[in-house]
Structure 1
Amino acid sequence: MQAAIIVFASCVLAVLSVGIPGGWIDADVESEDVIQAAEKSIQLFDQSRSDNVVHNLLKVISAKTQVVAGINYDLVVQVGLIDCLAGDLKTDVECVKKTGVCSFRLFVQSWTNTNELHKISCKADD
C-alpha cells in the first residue's frame, strides 16, 4: 500500500512540474514565436474588418501556448491604431492615434501553413 502511495505521489508531482499534456503553458512574451503569433493575429484581425483600419503591435502583455494538432496561442497584446497613409514619412510612434488591449486565440499549424483566429476581443484605452 505504501508503495502505491509513493508511485501515485510521484506521478502527481511529475504532472505538476511538467504541466498537463495538452494544457496551457505560460510563454515568454519576448520570444520570437510569440511575437510572430501576435503580429499574425493583428494582421488577421485587420483583414477581417471592413473599415480598413490598421493596427500595430506595441507590446505583448501575456502569452500562453497549448500543443494540440498544432499550437494554440492565447495572447493579450497592446495595439496601436495607425493613422498614417502608406508612404508617410513618420515613425510608427507618430502614427499611433489610439491604443487598446486585444485578446486573441490563434491556431497555428506550420506544416499546413494554417493560421486561424478563433477569439478576438479588443477594448480601447481610456
Structure 2
Amino acid sequence: MAVSWLCLCVLLSASLSACAMPDDIAVGLIQSMDELDEDVQRVALFASRQANSYSELLKVTSAKRKIVAGAYYYLSVAIGIIGDGQSTIKMNCTLEVYERPWENFISIEKYEC
C-alpha cells in the first residue's frame, strides 16, 4: 500500500512540474526571442541608459534569452550617441544583461560597441 502511494506521489509530482513551465521556455538553453518582446525592450532600454547617459536605444536587432536563476539576455542593439547636441552617431552594440525580477535586480554583464 505504501509503495502505491509513493508511486502516485511521484507521478503527481512529475505531472505538476511538467505543467509548471510553459512549453516555449527551456531552462538552461539559449533561445531566440522576438526583438519587440516587452521584456527584451525593457532590458535593452535599461542597459543602454545605464551604460551611457548620452545614448538612445534605436532598435533591438537580435535577442536571445537563457533562463537560469533569473534570466540572461543576449542582445544586439543599435544605439544613437548624442554628439554635439545636433548630431547623433549610430553604433551597433552587444549587451549581456542578467535579471532576477522577483528581487528587483538587474545587472549589465557585458556592453561592447
Question: TM-score with structure 1 length normalisation?
Answer: 0.65
Unaligned runs of at least 5 residues, structure 1: 1-16, 47-52, 86-94
- Equivalenced residues, count: 91
Task: Give 1:32's aligned residue.
Answer: 38
CA distance in 2 between counterparts of 1:35 and 1:29 reads 7
Report how far residue 111 of structure 1 moved.
1.1
Unaligned runs of at least 5 residues, structure 2: 1-22
CA distance in 1 between counterparts of 2:38 and 2:71 reads 14
Amino acid across the alignment from 2:42? Q
1:115 aligns with 2:106: yes
State the 4+ residue runs in structure 1 displaced beyond 4 angstroms: 17-20
Q: 1:71 to 1:96 in 2, by over 3 A?
A: farther
Question: TM-score with structure 2 length normalisation?
Answer: 0.72
**Is the 1:80–1:96 contact (alpha carbons within 8 Å) kept by the matching residues of 2?**
no
State the identity as a percent. Answer: 29
Q: How does 1:54-73 map onto structure 2 within 5 Å? A: 54-73=54-73
CA distance in 2 between counterparts of 1:30 and 1:20 reads 20
**Is the 2:26–2:67 contact (alpha carbons within 8 Å) kept by the matching residues of 1?**
no
